Structure formats: C-alpha cells, structure tokens
Structure 1
C-alpha cells in the first residue's frame, strides 16, 4: 500500500510538473507579443476603470496568466508609470481573462496532441520571432493536454487510497474544506488553472461533486493572489496596494458566493451536462460577476483599500 501510495503521488507530481511546464512554455511564446501590447497600451486604457478592465481581460487572455499581468501591473505602479487607482480596472479584467484557460481545457484535443507537438518543435527551430512564439504556444498547449489526460487517468487510482477517498468525501460535504484545499494547492503550485484542472480530472471520474469542484475553484482564486503579493516584496507602498486590492477582491467574492453555491450549481448544470464545462462555466460566471459588480464601485473600493492599508 505504501509503495502504491508513493507511486501514484509520484506520477501525480510528474503530471502537475508537466502541466506547469506547458503553461510556462506557452506563456514564453505569448509574453513577447502580449506583454508588449499590454505595456504599450496600458496608459491609454486606464483613465477609466472599464477601459482598464478591458485591457486587463484581453492581456490576461493573451498571456494565459492573471499573475503575469498583475506582476507587470505591480512593476508599472512601482515605477510610477501607473497609479494604484488606475490599476483597479486591470485587476478586475485579469480575473475575467484568466477564465479563458479553463474553458480551453474543456475541449477534447487529445487527437491533435501529436500534431501540436510536432508543429511546436518544427516552429521552435525557425529563426523568426513569430515562429518561435507559435512553437512555444503549440508545444506548451500539447504538454498541458498530455498532463490533463494523465491527471484524469490517475483520478480513480488515487481515490482508491483510503486517506484520499476520505478527503474527497469530506470535501464533497464541507465546502470550506474545498476552499482551503484550492487556496493551499494554488499557493503551492502558483497556478489557479492547474488547481482547477486537477479538480476537473477528479470530477470527470465523478469522485468530486460539482459543488466541491466549485469550492476548490473559489479557493484557487484566493491562492493565486500569492504570486502578486510576492512581487511586491521590497516595492513601494502603492505597488503593495495592488496586491492587497487583488486579495480583497477575490476574498470578498468568495465570501459572497459561498452561500450562493447551490444557485450557481443549478445555473451551470442547466447550461451543460459535461462536468468539466460546468466547472469552467462556474469560473467564468464567478469572476465576471465579481468584476462587473465591483466596476461601478472601483474608486470607492480603491479608497477603501488605501484606508485599510494606510500604515503599510
């Protein structure tokens, strides 16, 4: 049993590492293009909160990482190229844009994994910037889908272990446990997408309920704030406020949504029968509603964060 435990968790760690590797490679291809567009247009699109939300959404969708966008935003605020209040719209948009990745994961692209790998490898050897970016994107995407297949195949064997089975049962009946697991796992792997992907894998084998998956997704939104917070170490007071605003936005969203989880379950189950799509749609609805509802109060929210952390 101990040997089986070690073997399964070793494979689990390998697939998580492959997933994160794929994300890093994919972002390496997208960053030169998306990062340049983001930094070139950020000043034009942050005079109004809704404009900031728009560029935050687009940039995050292009970079496939809310953390990357927030870290760049922290850097711009630290360099006094952007004010803290201008960053609020970007934070709201980043939370929406990051849901694109989870929607992509719901597509069954297993039949084109090999073509993606081959296309990526060939493009990587072409000495042109755009070809290299395409190569990174396709190769990274293929790695992500290989990891997803691996995580799904490990779901049932892992659940056969008594300790893991007990944890699943407890998570299925206690939403706060799911939130804690999602936050802790995201803080560990530094990717809310990876955490959501793990939940999707277990849900596809009906080991986790939709409600438990949503709880883990909500926790992942809290855990993803850690990266931006780390980026503010040693930075200016205003740069730190960006990280605090991101934390409060996600924390308040989770607190508000926890009592409404049953309603969210009913809505997404009416939209589709596919469990992975249900969780992906839940992420889209949660992040979009939180950002849209907060948008009219962006200035008030910014003042509140400044007041709360005036001594930091």
Structure 2
C-alpha cells in the first residue's frame, strides 16, 4: 500500500517540478534578461507594478521566483519598497494562470508535447531551443499530473487516509495548515494545488477542505521569500513580509466564506479541477483588486511595522543614487 502511494507521488511530483523548472528556464532565456530592466523601469505606479508582477509571474512560472527577484532588486537599491507592493499583488494573480492551464486536463498531450519540445531543443537556433524547453516543460507537467493520479486509487481505498481527511473536513484550519506546510516543504504552490485537484476528483477530499488547502498553499509559497530576505536590507525584508502578511490576511478573510466560494465555482463549471482553479483565481483576483487602490496605505503600514533603522541622511543619499541610475 505504502509503495503504491509513495512511488507515483515521488515520480509525479518530480516530473511536475522538473517541468516547471524547464518551462521557467525557457521563458527566462527568451525574456528573462530584460525582466530586471522592465521591473526597474515600469513600476512607477501601483497599476504598472501590478501588471509587471502578473507578467513576470507568468514568464517565470513562480510567484516565489518573482518575489525573490523583487527582493534582490530592492536590496540592490534599483527599486524602492513602495514600488514592490503592486508587484506582489500581480504575482498572486499571475500564479493562477498555470493552475487554470493545468485544470484543462491536457494529460493526453503530455508525451507528444515532450517529444516536440525535445525535437525543438535539438535545433541550432537559440530561440527555438528555448521554445522547445517551454513545450517540453508543459509536457513534463502534464506527465507529472498523470502520474500523480495513479496514487489516488490506493488512497481512496485506504481507511486510515480517509479517516484522516474526514477529521480534517471538520476543521478547515487543518486543511489550511496542511497547505501551508506542504507548500513550504516543496516550494511550489502550483504542485500543492495540482495534488489537491487529483484528490478532490476522486472524492477523497471535500470541496471546502480542498479550498482550505489551496488557501494554505498561497501562504506557504511566501516561505521562500522570507528565507531569501534573511541578511538583506530593511526594504527587502519589507517586501518579503508584505507578501506574507497580505496572503495570510487574504486567507483568514476568505476562510469563513469557503462554502460561498465553492458555490460560485460550482456555478461556473461542473469539473472539480476547474472549480479549484476558478476558486483560486477568484480569491486572488478579489484580494488584488480590493488592495490595489490602497497600495500607498499598505506600504506605509509595512514600513511602520518593519521600520528602517538607518539615519535619514543615509536614506536621502541612497534615494539620490537610485534616482540618478534611471535618468
């Protein structure tokens, strides 16, 4: 029983994460070199920052990667903390693009996409090779999903596992914490969401428990950013904790309304996987749109919460240096 669960879980998760890495590498080589320049130049307003965050997350296929990149730019003094709040809101929405694509159930195209991607990668031209990485990455992601489905059958038959999730269905907080911990361990909220989709489609989880796990995954994805901010300047720490506190606040606010969120997603589609994807999109879209008009207030609150202990003269000098770079 344990082997029949662990083997497909390990291989499926490996395929999925490696596919994400391959796709991210392909996109990075196509547009990643300009990403820092775009993030430095086109984040003058909260709305511009929001779109840059959304686009960057789609390109890099990881909200954690974009947040870590933002921390690096802030630590280098290229952008200021106030410019990063909009980016953070955009990353939360951008990460739902992958989930929506995954929910389309394109697993039957996994092997053809993988073979096409490898064929393109063997081509001499650099751009075609990068496109090949992206295509092969998508193929590996769908292959990983197909492999993860294999573990659902023995899980469905396991009384221990059923009783565990039956217990967690009585408390959505357990689902939330499960999502946080698992995502923090594997550093991928998308992977956690995909596994949750598989369990839900086999009726191992209730919809509310599944949604609680997805909300937890949104919080768990901040763990990488918090680690990346260790040893950096105050502005970088403010970026990491702004991302974390925003996702925690959103999860706590939405937690009592999971039944309503489930009803809305069920109205939109009959597919359990699509319901999860739509719910995550609705959650992130509502949170981002509600917060976007209050970006200056959010920035001031975070700066009050994590104050910069440097002297005012040092701050003035740093700001002059940053502004002179872009003149």
Pairwise TM-score range, normalised by the shorter structure: over 0.9
The equivalent residue for 1:67 is 64
Residues 200-258 of structure 1: CA deviation (Å, up to 9, x unaligned): 00011111121111100000000000111111121111111100000011000001101
Residues 88-144 of structure 1: CA deviation (Å, up to 9, x unaligned): 000000000000000000112223222211111111111222112111111111111
Match among 281, 286, 289 for residue 283 of structure 2: 286
* C-alpha contact (below 8 Å) 1:5/1:161 kept by paired residues: no
Match among 223, 229, 233 for residue 236 of structure 1: 233
* C-alpha contact (below 8 Å) 2:4/2:154 kept by paired residues: no
Matched, 1:204 2:201: yes
Matched, 1:267 2:261: no
* C-alpha contact (below 8 Å) 1:57/1:96 kept by paired residues: yes
* C-alpha contact (below 8 Å) 2:9/2:151 kept by paired residues: yes
Larger radius of gyration: 2
Matched, 1:157 2:166: no
* Aligned length, in residue pairs: 309
User: How far 1:5 sits from its partner (Å)?
Assistant: 1.3
User: How far 1:311 sits from its partner (Å)?
Assistant: 6.9
The equivalent residue for 1:92 is 89
User: How far 1:299 sits from its partner (Å)?
Assistant: 0.9
- Alignment partner of 1:80: what SS? coil
Match among 299, 302, 311 for residue 299 of structure 2: 302
* C-alpha contact (below 8 Å) 2:49/2:84 kept by paired residues: yes
The equivalent residue for 2:45 is 48
Matched, 1:139 2:136: yes
* C-alpha contact (below 8 Å) 1:56/1:97 kept by paired residues: yes
* C-alpha contact (below 8 Å) 1:151/1:201 kept by paired residues: yes
Matched, 1:257 2:251: no
Residues 143-165 of structure 1: CA deviation (Å, up to 9, x unaligned): 11111112122112123223221
Unaligned runs of 5+ in 1: none
**Aligned-partner Cα distance in 1 for 2:31–2:116:** 21
* C-alpha contact (below 8 Å) 2:4/2:151 kept by paired residues: no
Matched, 1:169 2:159: no
**Aligned-partner Cα distance in 2 for 1:267–1:182:** 22
The equivalent residue for 1:213 is 210
Matched, 1:5 2:2: yes
The equivalent residue for 1:23 is 20
The equivalent residue for 2:107 is 110
**Aligned-partner Cα distance in 1 for 2:34–2:183:** 28
* TM-score w.r.t. length of structure 2: 0.91
- Which runs of at least 4 in structure 1 moved beyond 3 Å after TM superposition? none
**Aligned-partner Cα distance in 2 for 1:200–1:259:** 21
* TM-score w.r.t. length of structure 1: 0.95
* C-alpha contact (below 8 Å) 2:118/2:136 kept by paired residues: yes
* C-alpha contact (below 8 Å) 1:75/1:239 kept by paired residues: yes
